[in-house]
Amino acid sequence: MLINLHSHLEGRVRPATAAELDPRGGDAREWADALRLDAPGDLTAYLAKVAASYPLFARLDAIERIAREAVEDAAAAGGDYLELRFGPATHAGGLGILEVIRAAVRGMRAASAASGMPSGLVVAALRHHPAEVNDEVARAAARLAGEGVVGFDLAGDEALHPELSVHRDAFAIARAAGLGLTCHAAEAGPASAAREAVELLGVTRIGHGVHIVDDPEVLRWASDSGVVVETCPTSNWYTGGVALIAAHPAPRLRDAGVRLVLGDDNPVQTGVELAEERALLQTRFGWTAEQLGELDRVSIDAAFLHPHEHDDLLGRLAVEAGSSRSTPTADGRGPTHP
């Protein structure tokens, strides 16, 4: 199955749409170059490339369109469920955080209704924003809990803004509204950042978490606690989280008993979507059909799904009986991984 639990709306803008929305002009080829990463670097450089899309989110109708197309594209690629991350405060300006979130939800709901693929919005607070802004983001997300918003996240440059305690109030607001909680952690920061996110913010999922394996004690804790790690191998290579794809910690996390799910993070920037990431688990890391089936079961369990959607995906998984829906990467769309 293709259950995508870590994908950013800002990283799914079609270059052709970018060209149409760009008030300064430009064509799709220029926008493809502007959005696509040339080579691995570090998280700061990676996020700067993602930020190239920010001017395109200046209107509510543009946000709605980008969100609709993101879900359409995931469904067309064979997706079974998509959670989209979105940092609304970056795009609010004079629009208002609540209205920005509503616009994204409208687009996602329209595409899900048309395609039949469920989707949910994970609203992201950002590390570099003041606590009062992130509290406002959390309150807006809480107002739309059950109306398309399914989760709350903390994203941004962990290397430059490692402090988590200032965001406790925002997560408390989201938790009280019944939203699922996740946090980017141990991506550019140390292993301990993942445990801190769980203990300070109450999250049940960790975005990326590549450095958890650096500390044996934290690795044991991650296994024992049942925390879920959202792994995005190709993206972690582009951010410098791993030097080589072959050195990615996903197999070590799995072997240590850590619960893993999969995401494609920012597929326009990396050129790699979820099916290719799933194929990578097989071709590079040697995951068996049984291990992929376990990935699917954990993904359904960890997803911020409505109960009926959860039951539907479980039923479909049972019908598939662990059969793989991976798509080979022989078409050359993805990068060559060292």
Contact between residue 307 and residue 272 where contact means Cβ atoms under 8 Å apart: no
Q: Whole-angstrom Cα distance, residue 90 to residue 225?
A: 33
Q: At what angle do helices 131-143 and 97-115 cross, to 10 degrees?
A: 40
Q: Which of 6, 3, 1 is nearest to 266 (CA)?
A: 6
Two structure tokens written together for 59: 């209107």
Q: At what angle do helices 307-320 and 289-302 cross, to 10 degrees?
A: 170
Residue 163: active-site member: no
Strands 119-126 and 259-262: unpaired
Q: Which residue in the list 64, 72, 83, 187 is annotated as catalytic?
A: 187
Contact between residue 198 and residue 227 where contact means Cβ atoms under 8 Å apart: yes
- E strand residue ranges, 127-244: 149-155, 180-185, 205-208, 228-231
Query: What value, to the nearest 5°, has the Cα angle with vertex 265 and ends 146 and 115?
Result: 50
| DSSP secondary structure letters along 254-274 | HHTT-EEEE--BSHHHHS--H
Helix (H) or strand (E) holding 81: strand 81-86
> What is the amino acid identity at position 159?
A
Task: Give the catalytic positions in this structure.
Answer: 187
